[in-house]
Structure 1
Amino acid sequence: MKKTFILIAIIAAGIFSQSCQNKSGEAATDFIGENVKFAAEQYGLQIAEIEKSDKVLNPKSIINGKMKYISPQEWTSGFFPGSLWYIYELSSDEKWKPLATKYTEALDTIQYFTGNHDVGFMIYCSYGNALRLTGNEAYKNVIVNAAKSLSTRFRPGAGIIQSWNANKKKDWTCPVIIDNMMNLELMFEATKFSGDSSFYNIAVTHADNTIKHHYRPDYSTWHVVDYDPETGDIRHKNTHQGFSDESAWARGQAWGIYGFTLCYRETGDRKYLEQAEKAFEFLANHPNMPADGVPYWDFNAPNIPNENRDASTAAILASALYEMSTYDNSEYYKGWADKIVQSLSSAEYRANLGENGHFILKHSVGSLPHNSEVDVPLNYADYYFLEALKRKRDLERK
């Protein structure tokens, strides 16, 4: 009798546990589904406005109540088509596929762009997702050509990809910004598609020198490191978009965390994962990290808590942390990512339907020191928010 009772109790506990897990899974599905439904409706309104113009326009933000459209050469041009691909993937609605294709292929000439390092953002966020979701082999050539273009900015003497051109006013000869870590994914993929290991080797060399020169002992990062391109000597360490040269510009911290996480994925070298983890711990334990996980635009901004938050930083972080959770300390990193996407999905950060220029997220900061794109929607905030939702969904389907 006693054994029977114990057996019944074990079975009941198992049923209860399974029921709780099912309810948790259903809640997560509902949360993601509601966000995807909203994103599709909001972007549907945005697309309708663009299509009425009979032009292929690429929206970036709302500035003073007016939509800011950008050229293919602008660094954020890949994010709008990339968001369309994520909406297509997350909604399973075929109507988004031709739209995503149209706005992706409008960037065709960018595969040959050599004016700065952002060809990685422009091409991989657009064509990379297009290739992943359609299997169109022609897109591989676009990615390889873009990697060749980016390779023209590699400076062997310094072992880095030069981000921006020399700037006499700033006294920059060969500036490299932490954002550049995000462009390495293009290089890794190009090696897979072409068999040319030079792209991989450039990416690894750049990542190694970024660890060596961009990070402070506390694992915060400088925004800009200026090199002598011939010798690799460091000329300056500055900020461009942060509060000061020695401050921790929030989005720069997020770019680094995301970039080193992807470097671990592509190489299997744990030093990159450890770099990402330590850089995240700097943020997670920082006294100025808000409880909702949506950072101020700079962790050393002088008027915290009366400073602008940056939803774009939060979205980038959430996406990176979902990936990081698949490699190490899964509950901790996923818990942080979940908190962030919950915050971004709240009325505080997510727009109402038909408002906010038909972007998803409010309250991002482009460059506060230049009074540029402050407290506005930004296309890359939406892109990484949708990517975070996709990664969350994939994790919770396992």
Structure 2
Amino acid sequence: MGYANVQYTILYYQYRDLSFQSFPFMGYPLQTDWISLPILHSFTNGFFSGIFWNLLEFNATENILKMAIDLTLPLAPVANVTDTHDVGFVIMSSYGHGYHLLKFPEYLQIIITAAMSLSSRYSPTVRCTRSWDSKEGFLVIIDNMMNLGLLFEASKQTNNQTWYNMAWQHANRTMYEHFRPDNSTYHVVEYNETDGSVIRKYTAQGYADWSTWSRGQAWAVHGFTIAYRYTKYQPFLDKAIGAANYFLSHLSSSTDLIPYWDFDAPHHSTINYQPRDTSAAAIFASGLVELSQYVIVPETKDYFLTSAKSIVDQLTSSTYLILGNKDYVLRAVIANGTQGPYPEKPYDVATVFGDYYLTQTILRLFKL
């Protein structure tokens, strides 16, 4: 966490000098500059401040608090965005975490406004919130489970049952449509907006329509764990456990815990290089720590918690840590993230979301 503090403090001053007009998205470890995206145009933009909220909760200082607040305030306009589901990602990792710690009423108002924006994307016919705007149909991606926390939290704070029902219905429909019998996940489900029927199931970032994109599986574990946190609905917990067991059983070995970018990509071949995805590992580990606290069976609880700790140990080893390679110059924490699909999109890169979920995992372990 100290290393993350050093790296991201330097980044904070770099982006402050640019008036916080854009935030880091991903970067190549051999290059000094991150690829940045404008404030309103990425699901990742809450994670920059989110890293500082994680650091603040881990070891509070006035300087960390100032940086967390400074990086949160520019995100306020995101609360009014209605053309993406990612408002949940952005607001809950920034204003949501900040409100949890500080209880600023103006932060709560941002959360409520953002929930109103996200709720505008809900279809009572499909019983889901729309992920991507498309002329093809009503598209829902597994990542969208992570946005439901915004609706659940806003409902909790305002007693708005409608928002709770929207989030519950979305999770329930996703539980039936996004999962295969073995608890692996489809990335995208396209629904008919007129009658709510399923048109097709496919991938946008994975290896193939039939394969399991590892970050999508991580979103599923984490997302259904959050859904259970707010609802205590047993089937959501069971689905999170099933998805977690699938993830763990499809890692290369008990000592090789960082997944390839897709579990079904032919990574056993000596000819075809397949990159890892450290962001998938970090997202999964964070969800697994929280999930372990809801599991009743002692053996499963211990297995999940021990696995999360082992994943963190590997992520912070010299293999994946930026610090572990003398040629790496990017201000980040871990390398070897993959956007997907490989090789069309960036791979073997640092990602702000990978660093965010790693620091979140360490914080969660620290608080146990």
* TM-score of the two chains, using structure 2 as the length reference: 0.93
How far residue 57 of structure 1 moved from its aligned partner, in angstroms, is 3.8
Q: How many residues align?
A: 356
Letter in 2 for 1:143: I
Letter in 2 for 1:365: T
Query: Are residues 1:375 and 2:353 paired?
Result: no
Query: Are residues 1:300 and 2:264 paired?
Result: yes
How far residue 92 of structure 1 moved from its aligned partner, in angstroms, is 1.6
Residue in structure 2 matched with residue 72 of structure 1 by the alignment: 39
Residue in structure 1 matched with residue 99 of structure 2 by the alignment: 131
Residue in structure 2 matched with residue 339 of structure 1 by the alignment: 310
How far residue 45 of structure 1 moved from its aligned partner, in angstroms, is 2.0
Secondary structure in structure 2 of the residue aligned to 1:372: coil
Secondary structure in structure 2 of the residue aligned to 1:58: strand
Secondary structure in structure 1 of the residue aligned to 2:339: strand
Residue in structure 1 matched with residue 182 of structure 2 by the alignment: 218
Contact 1:258/1:316 (8 A) holds in 2: yes
Secondary structure in structure 1 of the residue aligned to 2:365: helix
Residue in structure 1 matched with residue 337 of structure 2 by the alignment: 364
How far residue 54 of structure 1 moved from its aligned partner, in angstroms, is 4.8
Unaligned runs of 5+ in 2: none
In 1, the alpha carbon distance for the partners of 2:253 and 2:274 equals 12
Query: Are residues 1:309 and 2:273 paired?
Result: no
How far residue 340 of structure 1 moved from its aligned partner, in angstroms, is 0.3
Secondary structure in structure 2 of the residue aligned to 1:100: helix
In 2, the alpha carbon distance for the partners of 1:253 and 1:95 equals 36
Letter in 1 for 2:173: N
Contact 2:251/2:259 (8 A) holds in 1: no
In 1, the alpha carbon distance for the partners of 2:329 and 2:303 equals 33
Residue in structure 2 matched with residue 285 of structure 1 by the alignment: 249
Q: How has the CA–CA distance of structure 1 residues 190 and 361 changed in structure 2, closer, same or farther, with 3 Å as cutoff?
A: same
In 2, the alpha carbon distance for the partners of 1:368 and 1:154 equals 28
In 2, the alpha carbon distance for the partners of 1:61 and 1:346 equals 20
Residue in structure 2 matched with residue 157 of structure 1 by the alignment: 125
Contact 1:288/1:299 (8 A) holds in 2: no
2:27 to 62, 65, 85: 62
Contact 1:158/1:233 (8 A) holds in 2: yes
How far residue 304 of structure 1 moved from its aligned partner, in angstroms, is 3.2
Residue in structure 2 matched with residue 324 of structure 1 by the alignment: 291
Structure number, greater radius of gyration? 1
Letter in 1 for 2:258: V
Q: How has the CA–CA distance of structure 1 residues 340 and 228 changed in structure 2, closer, same or farther, with 3 Å as cutoff?
A: same
How far residue 178 of structure 1 moved from its aligned partner, in angstroms, is 0.3
1:97 to 57, 61, 65: 65
In 2, the alpha carbon distance for the partners of 1:245 and 1:347 equals 34
Structure with more of its chain in helix, by fraction = 1
In 1, the alpha carbon distance for the partners of 2:103 and 2:311 equals 32
Query: Are residues 1:391 and 2:334 paired?
Result: no
Contact 1:288/1:304 (8 A) holds in 2: no
Unaligned runs of 5+ in 1: 1-35
In 1, the alpha carbon distance for the partners of 2:105 and 2:196 equals 38
In 1, the alpha carbon distance for the partners of 2:346 and 2:66 equals 30
In 2, the alpha carbon distance for the partners of 1:141 and 1:393 equals 30
Q: Give the % identical residues.
A: 35
Which segment drifts farther, 52-61 or 361-370? 52-61
Letter in 2 for 1:312: S
For residues 252-275 of structure 1, give each alpha carbon's deviation from its aligned partner in whole angstroms, at most 9, with x where no partner exists. 000000011111111111111110
In 1, the alpha carbon distance for the partners of 2:323 and 2:181 equals 42
How far residue 138 of structure 1 moved from its aligned partner, in angstroms, is 1.1
Letter in 2 for 1:42: Q
For residues 118-169 of structure 1, give each alpha carbon's deviation from its aligned partner in whole angstroms, at most 9, with x where no partner exists. 00001111101111122101111110110110011101111111100114xx
How far residue 89 of structure 1 moved from its aligned partner, in angstroms, is 1.8
Query: Are residues 1:194 and 2:164 paired?
Result: no
Q: How has the CA–CA distance of structure 1 residues 143 and 371 changed in structure 2, closer, same or farther, with 3 Å as cutoff?
A: same
In 2, the alpha carbon distance for the partners of 1:154 and 1:384 equals 27
Residue in structure 2 matched with residue 207 of structure 1 by the alignment: 171
